[in-house]
């Protein structure tokens, strides 16, 4: 009965939105155009919150890559790759992959099964705006972001009557990228359609350090040269956007994103079995729809959002049996569906005081089955969330923000989540801020954590704890220069941390660890200089990330207690330099990671660790203009110094490789 009630609420919200859309007066909106300037960092709505907005220049440079590449090279987020084109998960501030909440146009796209997102399946090409909310700042979007949240958005340009963009890329390992975007309209209606297709044979060579042969003459271990076979991937998709300004106070938008991906998964380099066994393949089909209605009044704003997300994931592992052909050892089919509705209201009493409240309802349905091993589960989860935020500015020097979130999971009330943050302007009329916050947060176990067969643990407790951070932010405009820098220290103390470990029955299962302590430092700097026709940009980040297991020594053993969590680098950083002059442009990208441990005891005497690596990329190109038409050509070199590196043990990454890219814009 409760499930039917939730369906009725969501359906009523959707019908209400459609009724409002049909009843609008057909006039042209006259909302004043807002110009975003570099000096506005003192905002009461963001008091105490650290947000990172990814520059449009970076989105352009990485347009042919996946979001995983952009995050690992240009932010403090650590991305764990299972190989080029394979699963890529993110660790934000040393937290687990499921502790990063990801939103597309306000729709949460974390899978209800694993609770995470595969960033290799998100092309940068579909992103117009990208921002990161660090730590407890993610509470504004949703609970559960113990590390933070990543927000992807598509935007509209009401001044475009027609626009077209076509991109063709050809690269190493038989890699082909194709993107086409067509759009236009008027001050009332705008349409935009994007198509994309990516393919790569992905057959790069590498020295296989997982297998060694003893040279009888020298006595040395010889690692053979191997090829990344059975690793091809294909991805194609469609993004359709419709925007309608019904009158001077109302905007209606509809967005659809459909994607189809297929990839074979290479065997681990430590595999020494026959060549006709362990063939892995994964197919992903995704459909996402978001409908928004925004109503603007003199002092308030009303938002209604409804959304739907569906995912079909098929995975198979096959072996060749003589006389029978390819026989599956695993054939798993998983179907995931989510429906959401959200109502939000913001009211500005005056320039120094505002409040925001919203209510959101989500319903998730998962069906997972393995037709070979005869295992699987079918479950639903209902989520309700109420949110309140109060923002206050005092004397133009101090911003205060208080947030409160209350969730219900399957109609059971969860712990209340409070947040208090502040910004203090150290020097009056200067953008030199002292910032801090303290908050509670929690994360519900995913459906796989609780019900996966075999190994699921229905008795898991939610992960919960407290977080605090302090930092400084400074921004200055000096004639032709804009400099922005930010330093933040954080600490998160999390109880009931969920981790999968092997058990005596021969398979892995999730358990709660008593305590994990996350603490670290983040530093960001950005510099832009304009001198005539020369534009120079430089940006960099550094992160010190300490993620320590203070779990139960009786369960884990003394050798794991007080050690760094696996695959979390202690030090990481990146630097990007870009220069342009008369259509010529050059970009240099550098990023590095310290060693990462692959065993919980951080044993330095074994091979269960990954060495530090330092990566360099370079782009050089030229843009030509012919009235409304522009053509740009770029040559990209990845892994410029041909570094040998691994992101995951026994999953090698490619050496130096190339891409030629041609873009036509009208």
Q: Give per-residue pLDDT as tens, 589-641.
A: 999 999 998 888 877 666 678 889 899 999 999 999 988 899 999 999 999 99
The continuous run of DSSP H or E covering 294 comes out as strand 279-296
Secondary structure class of 391 (helix, strand, coil)? strand
CATH of the domain at 58: 2.40.170.20
User: Considering its fold, how many domains does the chain have in total?
Assistant: 1
Print the domain residue range for 576: 2-665
Low-confidence winner among 31-45, 77-91, 262-276, 397-411 (lowest mean pLDDT): 31-45
Supply the DSSP string of 392-437, one letter for each residue: EEETTTEEEEEEEEEEEETTEEPPPEEEEEEEEESSTTSEEEEEEE
Q: Give per-residue pLDDT as tens, 297-333.
A: 999 999 999 999 999 999 999 988 888 888 888 999 9
State what percent of residues in the chain have pLDDT above 70.
92
Instruction: Output the pLDDT for position 29.
Output: 33
On the question of pLDDT at 384 being above 80, the answer is yes
Q: What's the whole-number mean pLDDT along residues 329-351?
A: 95
On the question of pLDDT at 3 being above 50, the answer is no
Low-confidence winner among 63-72, 349-358, 393-402, 602-611 (lowest mean pLDDT): 602-611
Average of per-residue pLDDT values in the chain: 89
Instruction: Output the pLDDT for position 607.
Output: 66
**Are 526 and 474 within 8 A, CB to CB?**
no
Q: What's the whole-number mean pLDDT along residues 82-101?
A: 93
What does the radius of gyration of the chain's CA atoms come to, in whole angstroms?
25
Instruction: Output the pLDDT for position 7.
Output: 39
Instruction: Output the pLDDT for position 276.
Output: 77
Q: What's the whole-number mean pLDDT along residues 645-665?
A: 93
Instruction: Output the pLDDT for position 293.
Output: 96
Tokens representing 423 are 């910004």
On the question of pLDDT at 90 being above 70, the answer is yes
Q: Where do the H-state alpha helices sit in 533-646?
A: 553-556
Instruction: Output the pLDDT for position 10.
Output: 39
**Are 381 and 449 within 8 A, CB to CB?**
no
Which residue, chain included where needed, has tokens 């989105």? 59
Instruction: Output the pLDDT for position 125.
Output: 95
On the question of pLDDT at 6 being above 70, the answer is no
Return d(Cα 489, Cα 570) in angstroms, integer. 14
State what percent of residues in the chain have pLDDT above 90.
73
Return d(Cα 421, Cα 403) in angstroms, integer. 9
**Are 265 and 86 within 8 A, CB to CB?**
yes
Return d(Cα 383, Cα 611) in angstroms, integer. 42
pLDDT band at 72 (very low <50, low <70, confident <90, very high): very high
pLDDT band at 501 (very low <50, low <70, confident <90, very high): confident
Return d(Cα 34, Cα 202) in angstroms, integer. 45
Q: What's the whole-number mean pLDDT along residues 455-483?
A: 93
Q: What's the whole-number mean pLDDT along residues 568-595?
A: 95
Q: Up-side HSE of residue 590: CA atoms within 13 Å toward CB?
A: 12
Instruction: Output the pLDDT for position 605.
Output: 62
Instruction: Output the pLDDT for position 217.
Output: 80
Question: Distances from the Cα of 441 to the Cαs of 362, 418, 499, 623, in angstroms?
Answer: 19, 8, 18, 47
Instruction: Output the pLDDT for position 441.
Output: 94
Helix-, strand-, coil-residue percentages of the chain, each rounded to 5? 10, 60, 35
The residue that leads in pLDDT, 292 or 35, is 292
122-133 burial by CB neighbour count: b if 16+ within 10 A, else e?
bbbbbbeebebb
């Amino acid at each position: 009965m409760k499930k039917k009630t939730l369906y009725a609420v969501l359906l009523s919200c959707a019908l209400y939105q459609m009724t409002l859309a049909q009843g609008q007066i057909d006039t042209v909106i006259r909302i004043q155009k807002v110009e975003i300037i570099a000096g506005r960092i003192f905002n009461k709505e963001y008091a105490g919150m650290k947000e990172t907005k990814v520059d449009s220049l970076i989105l352009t440079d990485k347009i042919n890559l996946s979001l995983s590449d952009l995050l690992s090279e240009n932010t403090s987020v650590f991305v764990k790759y299972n190989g080029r084109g394979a699963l890529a998960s993110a660790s934000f501030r040393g937290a687990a992959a499921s502790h990063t909440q990801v939103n597309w146009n306000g729709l949460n796209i974390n899978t209800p099964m694993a609770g995470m997102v595969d960033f290799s399946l998100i092309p940068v090409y579909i992103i117009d705006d990208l921002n990161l909310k660090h730590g407890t700042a993610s509470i504004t979007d949703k609970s559960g972001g113990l590390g933070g949240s990543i927000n992807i958005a598509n935007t509209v340009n009401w001044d475009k009557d027609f626009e077209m963009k076509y991109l063709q890329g050809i690269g190493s390992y038989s890699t082909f990228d194709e993107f086409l975007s067509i759009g236009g309209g008027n001050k009332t209606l705008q349409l935009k359609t994007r198509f994309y297709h990516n393919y790569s044979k992905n057959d790069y060579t590498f020295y296989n350090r997982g297998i060694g042969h003893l040279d009888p003459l020298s006595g040395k271990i010889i690692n053979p040269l191997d090829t990344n076979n059975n690793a091809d991937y294909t991805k194609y998709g469609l993004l359709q956007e419709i925007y309608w300004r019904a009158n001077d106070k109302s905007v209606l938008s509809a967005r659809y994103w459909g994607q189809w991906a297929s990839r074979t998964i290479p065997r681990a380099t430590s595999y020494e079995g026959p060549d006709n066994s362990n063939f892995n393949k994964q197919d992903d089909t995704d459909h996402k729809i978001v409908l928004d209605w925004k109503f603007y009044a003199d002092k308030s704003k009303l938002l209604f959002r409804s959304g739907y997300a569906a995912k079909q994931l098929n995975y198979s592992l096959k072996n060749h049996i003589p006389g029978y052909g390819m026989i599956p050892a695993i054939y798993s089919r998983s179907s995931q569906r989510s429906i959401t509705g959200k109502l939000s209201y913001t009211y500005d009493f005056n320039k120094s005081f505002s409040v925001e409240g919203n209510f959101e309802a989500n319903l998730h349905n998962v069906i997972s089955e393995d037709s070979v091993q005869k295992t699987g589960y079918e479950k639903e989860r209902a989520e309700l969330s109420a949110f309140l935020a109060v923002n206050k500015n005092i004397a133009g020097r101090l911003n205060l923000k208080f947030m409160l979130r209350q969730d219900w999971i399957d109609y059971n009330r969860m712990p209340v989540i409070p947040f208090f943050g502040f910004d203090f302007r150290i020097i009056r009329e200067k953008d030199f801020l002292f910032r801090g916050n303290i908050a509670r947060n929690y994360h519900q176990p995913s459906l796989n954590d609780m019900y996966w067969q075999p190994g699921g643990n229905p008795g898991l407790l939610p992960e919960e704890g407290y977080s605090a951070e302090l930092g400084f932010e400074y921004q200055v405009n000096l004639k032709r220069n804009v400099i922005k820098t930010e330093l933040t220290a954080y600490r998160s103390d999390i109880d009931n941390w969920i981790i999968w470990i092997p058990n005596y029955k021969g398979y892995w299962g999730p358990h709660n660890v008593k305590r994990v302590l996350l603490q670290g430092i983040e530093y960001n700097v950005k510099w832009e200089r304009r001198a005539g026709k020369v534009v120079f940009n430089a940006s960099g980040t550094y992160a010190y990330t300490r993620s320590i297991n203070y779990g139960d020594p009786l369960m884990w053993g003394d050798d794991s207690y007080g050690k760094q969590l696996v695959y979390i680098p202690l030090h990481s950083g990146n630097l990007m330099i870009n220069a342009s002059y008369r259509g010529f442009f050059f970009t240099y990208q550098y990023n590095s990671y310290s060693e990462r441990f692959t065993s919980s005891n951080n044993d330095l005497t074994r091979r269960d660790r990954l060495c530090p690596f330092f990566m360099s990329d370079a782009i050089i190109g030229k843009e030509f203009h012919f009235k409304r038409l522009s053509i740009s050509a770029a040559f990209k070199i990845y892994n410029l110094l041909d570094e040998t590196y691994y992101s995951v043990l026994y999953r090698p990454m490619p050496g130096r490789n190339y891409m030629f890219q041609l873009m036509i814009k009208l």
